Amino acid sequence: MTQPRWLDSQEKAAWNAFLEVSHRVERRVEHHLREQEGLSHPQYEILVRLADAPDWQLRMTELAESLLTSKSGASYQIGKLEKAGLVRRSSCPGDDRGVLAVLTEEGMATLRRAAPGHVELVRSSLIDLLSREQLAALTDGLDTVARGLED
């Protein structure tokens, strides 16, 4: 049996810093969105994805893939957004089995209200704390990790 490749002090520091920052930022974002608009972070992400899509709609499978979640996970969140009147489901034209998630006018209004505070929180919790060089290095490093983790 081979021994695990334990983390050295630099690797351990990087891992611990990643965990701390990701947890702290996520908690801040989640708390802010819940307090301001009654949305979870995944629900906000869905509104953003739909607002950026043509005709404010995406197939459920495409939405789940873009969110890096399961179809059932996306469906659960869409159900909550549907109850709030922010999203509706629609059948795909020409595909009886396909389902579209469609952003409603109320959903877009909610997103427009939430976005300024959200972006300010993202800035104050991460972006504005780093220099342009640090942002570039962070982006480069995280892009490398993301490509390495793609299915």
Residue position matching structure tokens 């049996």: 1
Predicted pLDDT at 139: 96
> Given this structure, which CATH class describes domain 30-149?
mainly alpha
Supply 125's token pair: 């919790």
Residue 24 has pLDDT above 80, yes or no: yes
Segment (H or E) for 95: strand 95-103
Q: Average model confidence (pLDDT) for the chain?
A: 94
| Domain ranges within the chain, ordered by starting residue | 30-149
CB environment 13-32: b (16+ within 10 A), e (fewer): eeeeeeeeeeeeeeeebeeb
Predicted pLDDT at 98: 85
Tell me what the mean pLDDT of segment 9-19 comes to.
97
pLDDT tens profile 118-136:
999 999 999 999 999 999 9
pLDDT tens profile 49-106:
999 999 999 999 999 999 999 889 999 999 999 999 999 999 888 777 789 999 999 9
